[in-house]
Structures are given as structure tokens and as C-alpha cells.
Chains A and B, each alone.
Chain A
Amino acid sequence: MAYGGSDTALIDRLMTRDESALREVIDLYGGIVNGMARRVVGDTAMAEEVAQDAFVTLWRRPGAFDPDRGSLKTFLTTVARNKAVDLIRREEANKRKKDALIEEMKVEPATSGFDGDADRRAEIHDALGRLSGVQREAITLAYFGGRTYREVADELGIAEGTAKTRLRDGLKKLRTVLADARDEANDD
């Protein structure tokens, strides 16, 4: 599925080195990219550096975005997540504590937001609530905490095989719950 034509139009302009296009992308997605970076690294200043790096990467390589594989927003937040994880993996002390990461996942999303995506966040929050606690914990540590499956196992005091299983079962459950929610919405 190809995503929004406006994403493609922005990328086309970035390809021609149109600086105003980069400003528009930052206006649209700067907050969410920074939000992702902050979730992973915790520190405000470091998060902005990661976000800055994500946008500079897009400027240097707009061709890295493929509209057939998702939206520009998902692409940029994924880039920010991966850059943030690279950063904290280089310095063990930068890794956020397990308890803080897990508590943050439990926080109810704001019912209204200035980005207009509050309803979607609430839907996903509910979907994550349908996972078992241990599945949610493993996914949170891996995705937002930057832990490898080996580190997840070590930190949770479980076997590596169990860590892999929790990640797999959690991702599968999340996929199923989201698909069911979408089917229900389509039936209404």
C-alpha cells in the first residue's frame, strides 16, 4: 500500500534540495520524532540531537523513504528510534531504567492532542493492554529500551528462549488485536 501523496510530494521536493520542504517536514513530524527520541534516550537535549540527526539523514537521503513500505511519519520515527538505540547502545549508562520504561508504557495517552493522533494512540494503548504483562515488558525493553533479546533475558532473569518467545508472541498478539479492532470498525 502506498501512503499519502503529500509524503511523496515532499520527498520529491527534498530530492531537488528544496529547503522549504525540509522545514515543512519538520513542522509536520518534528514533535513526534522528538517524542520518539525522548522516549528512548530520556534526556531532552540528547533527544533533540537524535531528532536533528534523523532530519539531516532524510535531507541527505530522501530516497531512503519508500512510500510502499509505510508513511513518512512511521519512517522518520523509526529512523529516530534506531538512531536513539544506536546512541544508548554505545554508552551503557545512557540506557533508561527498566522500571521507568515500563511505567511510561502504562500511562494513559492524552485524550486530545495537538497532533490530531490522540484517538489512534488510545486505540493502540488499548491493544497493548490486551498483551500479557510479560509480553508487554519484553517488547518495551526491546523497542524503547534498546535491549537485545539477550539483554532482555538477562534483565528479566529469564532464559533467552523465553525472551524470544515473549517478543514473538507479543508482536503476534498485537497484530491480531489491531486487525480485529480494524475489522470491528469496518463492520460499524
Chain B
Amino acid sequence: MTNTHDQIHSLIAAYAIGAVPEEEIPAIRAHILTCDQCFGEAESYASSLAALTETVEPAPLSKDFADRVLKEALGDREPSAARTRWLPRLRPAALRAVAAVAIVALLAVSASYVRSVDRGRDYQRVLTALVRDPNALTLRGPGGAEAIIASTNEGTVLAAVDLGEAPDGRVYQLWLMDDGVPVPDITFDATDAVVIVESTRSLEDFDGAAVTVEPEGGSELPTTNPVLSS
């Protein structure tokens, strides 16, 4: 047992209940990724935390509440049926806009990096490490691959499991969705069962994410259908 473990272990309950100052969270997340004991303890509080939410009594809402939510949700966008979800349905103008920002976007992720996690390490641990972000997105793929993407203090982290190595000469590429339009992000490969990819871009600015297989170096626009999408 190291001092670091002991110090962080004493914070796990406070972390689980959301009572750790923001600046202390990254160290805890990183530790949970490698520590079975702290991972298990964080998981063990789930029922207590769910119970706390159940102590709350409903409070009546204004009559026009749902209308106000819909108005804000839709904003000045087109009706839902016209919203796009992936490349084949993207608007040409949107594609041109993506191309215009693509170079800037690729430069912006220069501080991103990829870290592999040992095969066999529990994916649930990754989920727990990220569970403090209520806006974390789950990505799923047709082949059973799965990933979660969440905010960090520095940007965004993607943890993918069972993605498998990219085909020869190709890489995976992360796309962040801006109103249905894919914005290019980091490229990576998945040599282990679980791979962690970090981007400096803030997930808060996007409404979804996807991963495609692309030529080495990445693409400015997706050239294949997603292997993972939210």
C-alpha cells in the first residue's frame, strides 16, 4: 500500500457522493483505473446513492414546462425528422463547413494521446472512473464493441473495449458530433482489450460521438460507417 493509495482510498466515498473538489478528481479517476479495491468501493455505494435520490418528493411544475423544454431543446432547428445522425444524411452545406474547420480541428487535438490498458482489466472500472460525468455517452458498435466518452478537466476521454486492432494501414478515428455533423478528432489503434483515448476538445460543445476506420493520418470527413456511435 502506498501513501497515494491510502490517501485516495480515504476519498472514495466523498468522490462517489460528488463531494470532492474538481481539482482533486483527476487523480482519483486515474487511481481507480488501476486499483481493484478503490474501484470496488466506489461501485459499492451505488445503491446508497440511488436511495438518496429516492428521498426526494415530486414538486409540481409550471403548466408550460414541457413546452419550454421542447422550445429550448429544438431551438431554431428544423423539426426532429429532418435532424441528421450520420454521414449519408448530412447536408452538403454542413459538410463544406466541416471541411473548412477540419484542419483547425486536427491541430487543436495535438495534445491528445492514446493509452492502452492491460488486457483483462475490468471495463466497469473505466465506467466507474468516469461515472461522475452525468453527460457521459455510451457508444456501441455492431460487433459488440462498446465505449464510453466523458468530460475531464482537460477535455474529453474515450474508453473503448473489444474494438480490436484496426485493419492494416488503417486507424480508428474519433468524431465528435456537432448538431449531427461529425467533427474530426484524434486517430488511434486498439492493441489491447481496453483503450483510453484523450482529446483536448470539450465534450460539452458536442451532442454525440462516433468512431470510424480511416486511412492512416485520419480523414477530414468520415469515409466509412461508424464502428461505434452514440
Is residue B74 within 8 Å, beta carbon to beta carbon, of the partner chain?
yes
Q: Per a CB cutoff under 8 Å, which of A19, A51, A127 touches B70?
A: A19
Is residue A7 within 8 Å, beta carbon to beta carbon, of the partner chain?
no
In the complex with contacts A59-B73, A164-B13, A178-B51, A143-B56 CB distance below 8 A: no
Is residue B93 within 8 Å, beta carbon to beta carbon, of the partner chain?
no
Residue tally, chain A, CB below 8 Å to B? 77
When chains A and B are docked, how far (Å) is the Cα of A56 from the Cα of B70?
A: 8
A32 near B48: Cβ-Cβ < 8 Å = no
Q: Which residues of A contact B (CB under 8 A)?
A: 16-19, 22-23, 26-27, 30-32, 34-39, 44, 47-48, 51-52, 55-57, 59-61, 63-64, 66, 69-70, 73-75, 77-79, 81-83, 85, 105, 109-110, 113-115, 117, 120-121, 124-125, 127-128, 139, 142-144, 147-150, 152, 161, 163-165, 167-168, 171-172, 174-175, 178-179
Stretch at the interface among B60-68, B111-119, B155-163: B60-68
B45 near A171: Cβ-Cβ < 8 Å = yes
Q: Which residue of B lies closest to A82 (CB)?
A: B134
B47 near A175: Cβ-Cβ < 8 Å = yes
B19 near A70: Cβ-Cβ < 8 Å = no
Is residue B3 within 8 Å, beta carbon to beta carbon, of the partner chain?
no
B73 near A22: Cβ-Cβ < 8 Å = yes
B207 near A31: Cβ-Cβ < 8 Å = no
29 contacts between A and B (CB under 8 A): A26-B65, A27-B66, A30-B65, A34-B59, A34-B61, A35-B57, A35-B59, A47-B59, A48-B65, A60-B207, A61-B135, A63-B230, A70-B50, A74-B50, A74-B53, A77-B53, A78-B53, A110-B57, A114-B58, A117-B54, A121-B57, A139-B52, A142-B18, A144-B52, A164-B14, A167-B13, A171-B16, A171-B48, A172-B44
Name the distance in Å between A123's Cβ and chain B's nearest Cβ.
9
In the complex with contacts A19-B70, A113-B58, A167-B17 CB distance below 8 A: yes
Chain A residues with Cβ below 8 Å from B61 are: 30-31, 34, 48, 51
A51 near B51: Cβ-Cβ < 8 Å = no
Interface size of B as a range: 35 or more
In the complex with contacts A22-B73, A38-B59, A63-B208, A17-B80 CB distance below 8 A: yes
Is residue B138 within 8 Å, beta carbon to beta carbon, of the partner chain?
yes
When chains A and B are docked, how far (Å) is the Cα of A141 from the Cα of B91?
A: 49
Name the distance in Å between B148's Cβ and chain A's nearest Cβ.
8
Q: Which of B116-137 contact A (CB under 8 A)?
A: 127, 131, 134-137
Chain B residues with Cβ below 8 Å from A30 are: 61, 65-66
Is residue B69 within 8 Å, beta carbon to beta carbon, of the partner chain?
yes
Is residue B181 within 8 Å, beta carbon to beta carbon, of the partner chain?
no
3 nearest A-B pairs in the assembled complex, by CB-CB distance? A31-B58, A17-B80, A168-B13
Q: Which residue of B lies closest to A77 (CB)?
A: B53
Q: Which of B23-75 contact A (CB under 8 A)?
A: 44-62, 65-66, 68-70, 72-74
